[in-house]
Amino acid sequence: MDAGLLLQYAVIALAVLVSAWVVLKKQFPGTVRRLRGAIALALLKPQRPAWLQRAGRWIAPPASSGSAACGGCDTCGPSAPTPGRKR
């Protein structure tokens, strides 16, 4: 196989993977969070090498704040309109 063709296939595969990740993050944020957490927990075991533990900390989802009722995206709907304001 020609090196240029192999590079082209690699770039296309990378573009498809990035595109699939973006769609997953937009459409299934809870699933992506659970998947990232599971992968991070597997990498953060004490017997793992230091570089794998660093990768696990990098992959781990950010901690959610306790202020949101559902722990989700904090966009639970439109804000209430101010009384007396004309639209």
Determine the pLDDT at residue 62. 86
Which structure tokens are listed for 40?
């991070």
Which structure tokens are listed for 21?
């990740």
Instruction: Give residue 52's Cα distance to chain centre.
Output: 19
Determine the pLDDT at residue 64. 72
pTM (global) more than 0.95: no
Per domain, the residue ranges of the chain are: 3-59
Determine the pLDDT at residue 72. 58
Helix axes 3-27, 29-43, angle to 10 degrees: 110
Tokens 């794998």 belong to residue: 52
Spell out the per-residue pLDDT of the chain, length 87, in tens: 799 999 999 999 999 999 999 999 999 999 999 999 999 999 999 999 999 999 999 999 888 765 555 655 656 666 666 676 665
CB count in 10 Å sphere of residue 43: 19
